[in-house]
Chains A and B, each alone.
Chain A
Amino acid sequence: MTHASRRFLHPEAIARIARLELRARAVVEGVLAGLHKSPYKGQSVEFLQHREYVRGDDLRRVDWKVWGRQDRLYVKEFEEETNLRLALLVDGSASMDYRSGALSKYDYAATLAASLAWLALSHGDAAGCAVFDDKVRASVPARTKRSQLASVVEVLEAPRGGRPTAFLPVLRGLAETLPRRGLVVVISDLLGDREGVFQGLQLLRKRGHDIVLLHVMDDDELDFPFEGPTKFEGLEIPDHLACNPRALREGYLAAVGEFLAEARRRAASAACDYSLIRTGEPVDAALVKFLSRRASMAV
């Protein structure tokens, strides 16, 4: 494991995941093979149905026994048991740089992404990753090769532009470039072009991708614990505000609450699996909670 991978894959998190290996495996399998039934039909071990041959079908899939009995060409369809194609889209905009603890939101998101990639790769699934702000800054397509995790980590560590987020063009581009339908995990604070987020997610969804939206927020952003005269300087917005934070806290929390509610609502309407994750929460706990939630959805 490289140094970079150790940075994002906390040993404790991995250990806890490892201890939950059976459950995680079930979750992953559920995600990859059970819960998310493959929309692809092709060669597999499990027969699904016959259908009449049309031109262009692979002649290797023609059921010659049926042709012999009925003199009609039918091809055999099997439920494809393909590996998951996991696409990790990590928000690398300037707002993701805020940190109140050891990890910034981006660090936290990258750790989550790397953990998910490791889980996928360790089960033979393909995992790819892209880091974006107003455009894709670095990416690696989904692969199952052994060195893929390093590639993912390399993408996560790639220099970022410190730019504001522009979700819609980025997600639109990704929707067009993702070759096959798969699981798209978007990890972002959703700050910035809020409307574009959900439009982009809907595009992905229309392309048949299963969308998971991991909404990463710092504890400070959720609790606003500031006291004393403070000058807030926007990370993405070129604006600042000098104020007594205690006086604005109530209004701030209300606005954040509305924002979270809207995100949750619009994610649901876009058929996205939405999870709010606090950076104060241990990464492994967040991962387990996410996987557990996915498992419960599969039941």
Chain B
Amino acid sequence: MPTFDFLPLLWWGLPLVAAPIVIHLINLLRHRRVPWAAMEFLLASQKKYRTRVLLKQLLLLALRVAAILGIVLAMAQPRWTNALGQLLGGGRSAHVVLLDDSYSMGERSGAGGGEAATAFDRGLAVVGRICGELATTRGRQEIAVGRFSRFTPPRGSIAPATADTVPPTGAAGRLDVARQTVTPEGVQRIRDSLAAMKPSASDAGPLGALAAAADVFGDGGGSKATQVLWVVSDFRTAQWDSADDTLAILRQFAAGGTEVRFIDCAGEGAAGEGSAGNLTVERLAMVGGVPAAGVVVPLEVSVRNDGARPARDVTVDLREDGVVRPGARIPEIPAGESALQRFDVRFQKSGSHVIEARLPADILPADDARSLVVDVVDRVDVLLIDGALADAAPGAASRAGDAFYLAAALAPGAGAPTGLQPRMEPPRALATLDLKAFDAVWVLDVERLDAPEVTALEAYARDGGGVVFFVGPRTKPDVVNRTLHRDGAGIFPVPIAGMVDLLPDAAEQRPDVVVEEHPVVAVLAGQRNPLLDAVRVDRYAAVERGWEPAPEAGLRRLLSLRNGAALMVERSYGAGIVAAVLTTASPAWNNWSRGNPSWVVVMLELESHLASGRRRAESLDVGDPVSVMLDPAVDGIEVDFLVPPDGTVVHQAARPAAAGRMEARLDTTNPGAYAVRWRRTDGLERERLFAVNVDPDEGQLARSGREGLEKVLAGVPFTYENAASIDPGARTQNGVSLVTPLLAILLGILLLEQLVAWLSSYHPATRRGAAA
């Protein structure tokens, strides 16, 4: 059964078939009059050849009609689909439409007021047109539609999704429109479902969706259906320029004969020169301090300008638990760069608080807001292990010990609330106390630590705890090296060669302490600080000569001495941070803690830095699961998730997890603050808040375009069309093209027409012929 690629051309061209007949009829009315003498011969000829002439004229007319019909048919691009082949699936055409619904597709473009069309709107329109075209195409047309976000692998998964790693049944099951034969009724259902779709808040790339498409095509049962893959996207550089896995899958498509068609829906000029550009709240984070009630907590917000022009006087609106608070103003953000703005927040009550930063709406609203959940506590416990208390009675404390000076720095008093609650304990307490209850553990000039104490301390650090060591007269270098450093495997960052005096430097008058580049001491960096200049170090623990840390150890120096020796170092240890200050906390070897304000500042910063791995002031990305681990002994397993923005409640029963605990887990789809509520067995209701934000990288609207894709996807045949100019009718059709045989027939008809016309025409004879 023939089908036509350009069916409208056929309908428009068919009337032309009547042209020869009309011309013939017109000619009949336009006779030339000739007075004629030899009428008798003419009449004789007419009498003799009447039938023959009539047949010849009819044949000529038929040939001309056929010629025009052939031309019209050829222009309509007919193809033959075998009915039996269709029945067996051989004439089938399978289309998989993958629609990018990452939040960059929410980019608005278009002139004029009102609600401008988004790239996603254009994408939906394209999908609708494709469905409509397929519905009017003869032959068995199948279609499946899926959005990128439906196939994004969980963020926790390590391996990228490939055709092999995405479970086939699962992938097919996540389609928005399961593979089905296209019918007019089905198209209406598809369009209805499309109308309800909106861009997601995810940064979903094409990889998972392409793998799913491969699976959908594979479900065809091995039939030789024509396969067409439509990718309707904005083709942002961030998603398509690092596409090794994508390239691999697309090559599989090419090898399998699948036609790949890219439809670009991005608005023209949205990210181009002269455009308003897109501002993105790139980061909202707590940068220090102790998140305790009544304590000033410094936060910082970073705004990126992806436009082609600098953005000036950018106002960032701030909300604290939904209440508007004074915003932050950024004077200027250069084009293509980010600007950082700090602001302080003081939480009056303990508990989880939501901070939201929001920019004025621009062409891409999805990345204009970012939220942060800060868990504020009444007090933050800090454990101070003082070697001086090793032999003392429990609870005793010396006013001359290291712990005293450190506690004075961490908790100066009611006039300067820090939220920290130092607790001084002897070394043996490390093995008995639950270290997880402490924000950080400070180990001050201990002579030795036993194995259980070292084990507990290292476990605490590996789980994200912060540990800092001070040395002093009791510290034995060989013990430290053997039990704590252990050639780099232990918790102590550096090996100690011995305790040495820092020789006076009367000639040059240089300060004893040199500030290195590190966030903890950043407040003291730059020009010479008189407070730090006043610090005198008499004695310190020297690092073994010639020792070099392993590159992977990540050792960083915070402070040095004027002779180049390290004074304060830190490194990561598991999920936590360990630091070592190679002098005393008390004034025994230095005068730093004796009334120098910089001592308080650096110690508070160090405490904040050490505890950063344990403090919950982070946010999740959309797609990350919100998860709470429950103790069945004290927690109920019925959990309610309140999903932003309208607080829709999703109820869930916690499921067993490792170590006898229960886990309630919900994949996030929207940005904002998620609340998880459950009831404890004692009847108290518990709540945890989670801030979920979009991936700011998705807000970078730079496009790959045709050239970029051709470069990245080298070797993959594809067609690239703009959504505005797409011609779904130009799609690949199933069946055999009849154009070539039709043209051959047309040529034959034209030759035959010429022959008949020649035979019916007068051709002047040559002079010789005339004479004869």
Contact = CB atoms under 8 A, between A and B. Distances in A.
Contact of A256 (B41, B46, B765): B41
Contact of A239 (B39, B56, B762): B39
Nearest to B45: A251
A245 B762 CA distance: 9
Contacts of A223: 762, 764-765, 770
A97 B56 CA distance: 33
A227 B27 CA distance: 12
Contact of B32 (A98, A189, A229, A259): A229
B31 A224 contact: no
A97 B34 CA distance: 12
Interface stretch (A14-22, A124-132, A153-161, A230-238): A230-238
A23 B601 CA distance: 144
Interface string B36-78: 1111111111101100010011000000000000000000000
A233 B39 CA distance: 8
A98 B36 contact: yes
The interface centre, meaning the residue of A189, A191, A230, A251 with most chain B CB atoms within 10 A of its CB, is A251
A252 B762 CA distance: 12
Contacts of A225: 762, 764
B768 interface: no
Interface residues of A, number: 43
B746 to A, nearest CB: 24
Nearest to A230: B32
A255 interface: yes
Nearest to B36: A232
A256 B38 contact: yes
B37 A236 contact: yes
Contacts of B56: 247
Contacts of A246: 760-762
B28 interface: yes
Interface string A186-199: 00010100000000
Interface string A234-264: 1111010111111111111011100100000
Nearest to A189: B37
Contacts of A252: 38, 41-42, 44-45
A105 B35 CA distance: 13
Nearest to A259: B41
B30 interface: yes
A221 B35 CA distance: 12
A254 B30 contact: no
A226 interface: yes
Contacts, number: 116
A221 B46 contact: no
B46 to A, nearest CB: 6
Interface string A83-99: 00000000000111110
Nearest to B771: A278
Contact of A255 (B31, B32, B44): B44
User: Which of A94, A239, A242, A250 has the most B CB atoms < 10 Å from its CB?
Assistant: A250
B36 A235 contact: yes
A241 B46 contact: yes
A56 interface: no
B762 A251 contact: no
Contacts of A97: 35, 37
Contact of B762 (A221, A224, A234): A224
B399 interface: no
Interface in B8-39: 27-28, 30-39
B755 to A, nearest CB: 14
A241 B43 contact: yes
A236 B48 CA distance: 22
Interface in B158-202: none
A228 interface: yes
Contacts of B41: 252, 255-256, 259
Contacts of A232: 34-36, 39, 42
Nearest to B31: A231
B593 to A, nearest CB: 120
A248 B761 CA distance: 10
Contacts of B37: 94-98, 105, 189, 191, 218, 221, 234-236
B32 A231 contact: yes
Contact of A251 (B31, B46, B770): B46
A228 B32 CA distance: 8
Interface string A202-229: 0000000000000000100111111111
Given A247-B53, A259-B41, A229 B31 contact: yes
Interface in B724-772: 760-762, 764-765, 770
Interface string A103-124: 0010000000000000000000
Contact of B42 (A94, A96, A218, A248): A248
A221 B38 contact: yes
A251 B35 CA distance: 19
Residue of B39, B765, B770 with most partner-chain A CB within 10 A: B39
Contacts of A222: 770
Nearest to A191: B37
Candidate in B48, B764, B765 with the most chain A CB atoms within 10 angstroms: B48
B43 A239 contact: yes
A245 to B, nearest CB: 7
A231 B33 contact: yes
A105 B38 CA distance: 12
Given A228-B32, A247-B49, A191 B57 contact: no
A231 B27 contact: no
Given A225-B762, A241-B46, A230 B39 contact: no
Identify which of A222, A230, A246 gathers the most chain B CB atoms within 10 Å of its CB: A246
B36 A248 contact: no
A245 B764 CA distance: 14
A248 B45 contact: yes
Contacts of A228: 27, 32
A234 B45 contact: no
A230 B36 CA distance: 11
B45 A254 contact: yes
Contacts of A254: 45
Contact of A234 (B36, B48, B49, B760): B36
Contacts of A242: 31
Interface in B449-498: none
B617 to A, nearest CB: 96
A187 to B, nearest CB: 15
B761 A227 contact: yes
Contacts of B31: 229-231, 242
Contacts of A95: 37-38
Contacts of B761: 227, 246
Contacts of B764: 223, 225
Contacts of B760: 244, 246-247
A270 B44 CA distance: 27
A249 B762 contact: yes
A237 B36 CA distance: 9
B719 to A, nearest CB: 51
A112 B38 CA distance: 22
Interface string B436-457: 0000000000000000000000
Nearest to A239: B39
A251 B32 contact: no
Given A191-B40, A227-B761, A255-B41, A248 B49 contact: yes
A227 B764 CA distance: 12
B69 to A, nearest CB: 23
Interface of B: 27-28, 30-46, 48-49, 53, 56-57, 760-762, 764-765, 770
Given A221-B37, A241-B43, 13 more contacts: A95-B37, A96-B37, A222-B770, A227-B762, A229-B30, A231-B34, A232-B34, A232-B39, A233-B35, A241-B42, A244-B57, A247-B56, A250-B49
9 contacts: A95-B38, A191-B37, A229-B30, A232-B36, A233-B33, A237-B43, A247-B56, A249-B45, A251-B46
Interface of A: 94-98, 105, 189, 191, 218, 221-237, 239, 241-252, 254-256, 259
Closest 3 CB pairs of A and B: A251-B45, A255-B41, A95-B37
